Structure 1
Amino acid sequence: MGSPPLLAKIRKTFPKDAHHSEPVIEILEHWRDYFPGAKQCPPFVALDLWPMRKAMLRVSDPRLSQQFTTVKAVTRGQTSRQFMTPVSLGLDLLSTDLPTHRVWRSRFAPGFLPRNLLTHMPALLEEIGIFTAKVERQTGKPGWGKVFQLEDWATSLTFDVIARVAVDVKLGEQLVDGPGPFRDALQTQILEMRPRTPWNRLRSCSPILIYRAWRNHNTMSELLMPKVQARIAAMGSKGTTYDDKTVIDLVFKRYQENCERKGEPLKPDKAFVDTIISNLKVFIFAGHDTTSSTICFSLYQLSKHPEFLAKVREEHDAVFGADPLAAPALLLEHPHKINETPYTLAVIKETLRMYPLAGTFREGSDETVLHAEEGGAPVSTAGFDLIDGVWELHYRPDLWPRPYDFLPQRWLVGEEDPLFPVPYSWRAFEHGPMNCIGKDLALLEIRLVLVHVARRYDFETAWEEWDKIQGYTEANIDRLRGDLRTRK
Structure 2
Amino acid sequence: MLQAILLAAAALLTSFLFRKLRYIRYKQYQDIPQLPTSLLWGHLKIMGEFMSNGIPDRHLDKIFEEMWIAIGRPPVMFVDLRPLTPPMLLVSTHEVAEQVSKPSKRFPLSPTKSPTLTFMAPIIGMTSIIGKEHLWTLLPLILEKTIPFTRYLDQFADSGEVFSMEKLTSNLTFDIIGAAIMDYDLHTQEIDRSKQGELTRMFGELLRLYSDDKNNLPWWLNPRLAYKRRQLGRRIDNLVRNIIRQQFAEAKAQPRISSSTFTKDAKTILTLSFQETDTLTPEALTETSDQVRTFFFGGHDSLNSLLQWIFYELSRTPRALKAVRNELDSILGPETGPAIICARLLQHGNDVFPKMRYIKAMIKESLRLHPPASTVRLTAPGSGFTLHTPADGKDYSVDGLMMYSCQFIIQRDPAVFGDTADVWVPERWLGEAGKGIPATSWRPYERGPRNCIGQELANLESRVIIAIIARKYDFVKVGLGETVVDEKGRPELDNNGQFVVAKPLYNVSAQYYFF
Q: TM tier, shorter chain?
A: 0.7 to 0.9
Q: Please give the per-residue CA displacement for 1:284-334, whole angstroms capped at 9, x wherever unaligned.
A: 100111111111110110110111100000000000001112322211211
Q: Displacement of 1:180 after TM fit?
A: 4.1
Which residue number in structure 1 is paired with residue 274 of structure 2?
252
- Secondary structure, counterpart of 1:449 in structure 2: helix
Which residue number in structure 2 is paired with residue 97 of structure 1?
none
Aligned equivalents of 1:351, 1:465: Cα separation in 2 = 16
Aligned equivalents of 1:205, 1:356: Cα separation in 2 = 28
1:275 to 287, 299, 304: 287
1:394 to 408, 411, 417: 411
Q: In the alignment, is the contact (CA less than 8 A) between 1:400 and 1:419 conserved in 2?
A: no
Rg larger in structure? 2
Q: In the alignment, is the contact (CA less than 8 A) between 1:413 and 1:420 conserved in 2?
A: no
Which residue number in structure 1 is paired with residue 14 of structure 2?
none
Q: Percent identity?
A: 26
TM-score of the superposed pair, with normalisation by structure 1: 0.79
Q: In the alignment, is the contact (CA less than 8 A) between 2:101 and 2:111 conserved in 1?
A: yes
Which residue number in structure 2 is paired with residue 361 of structure 1?
376
Aligned equivalents of 1:151, 1:225: Cα separation in 2 = 33
Aligned equivalents of 1:215, 1:168: Cα separation in 2 = 21
Which residue number in structure 1 is paired with residue 441 of structure 2?
425
Change (3 A) 1:90 1:430: same
Q: Displacement of 1:456 after TM fit?
A: 0.9
Asked if 1:61 corresponds to 2:93, the answer is: yes
Aligned equivalents of 1:189, 1:130: Cα separation in 2 = 25
Asked if 1:371 corresponds to 2:371, the answer is: no
- Gaps (5+ residues) in structure 1? 36-40, 95-107, 236-241, 257-265, 467-477, 482-488
- Secondary structure, counterpart of 1:370 in structure 2: strand
Q: Displacement of 1:248 after TM fit?
A: 1.3
Aligned equivalents of 1:198, 1:181: Cα separation in 2 = 27
Asked if 1:461 corresponds to 2:472, the answer is: no
Which residue number in structure 2 is paired with residue 102 of structure 1?
none
**Any residues of structure 2 matched to 1:311-326 within 5 Å, and which?**
311-325=323-337, 326=340
Aligned equivalents of 2:343, 2:91: Cα separation in 1 = 46
Q: In the alignment, is the contact (CA less than 8 A) between 2:369 and 2:422 conserved in 1?
A: yes
The one-letter amino acid of 1:54's match is P
Aligned equivalents of 1:49, 1:227: Cα separation in 2 = 45
Which residue number in structure 1 is paired with residue 400 of structure 2?
383
Asked if 1:155 corresponds to 2:170, the answer is: yes
Q: In the alignment, is the contact (CA less than 8 A) between 1:53 and 1:195 conserved in 2?
A: no
Aligned equivalents of 1:224, 1:461: Cα separation in 2 = 41
Q: Displacement of 1:204 after TM fit?
A: 5.7
Equivalenced residues, count: 421
Q: Displacement of 1:71 after TM fit?
A: 3.5
The one-letter amino acid of 1:138's match is F
Aligned equivalents of 1:465, 1:26: Cα separation in 2 = 21
TM-score of the superposed pair, with normalisation by structure 2: 0.75
Q: In the alignment, is the contact (CA less than 8 A) between 1:291 and 1:442 conserved in 2?
A: yes
**Any residues of structure 2 matched to 1:34-113 within 5 Å, and which?**
34-35=71-72, 41-72=73-104, 73-80=110-117, 82-93=118-129, 109=132, 112-113=133-134
Q: Displacement of 1:428 after TM fit?
A: 0.9
Q: Displacement of 1:4 after TM fit?
A: 1.1
Which residue number in structure 1 is paired with residue 47 of structure 2?
7
Q: In the alignment, is the contact (CA less than 8 A) between 1:321 and 1:327 conserved in 2?
A: no
Asked if 1:434 corresponds to 2:450, the answer is: yes
Asked if 1:26 corresponds to 2:43, the answer is: no
Change (3 A) 1:91 1:192: farther
- Gaps (5+ residues) in structure 2? 1-33, 36-42, 105-109, 256-263, 483-505, 510-515
Aligned equivalents of 2:437, 2:507: Cα separation in 1 = 35
Q: In the alignment, is the contact (CA less than 8 A) between 1:185 and 1:219 conserved in 2?
A: no
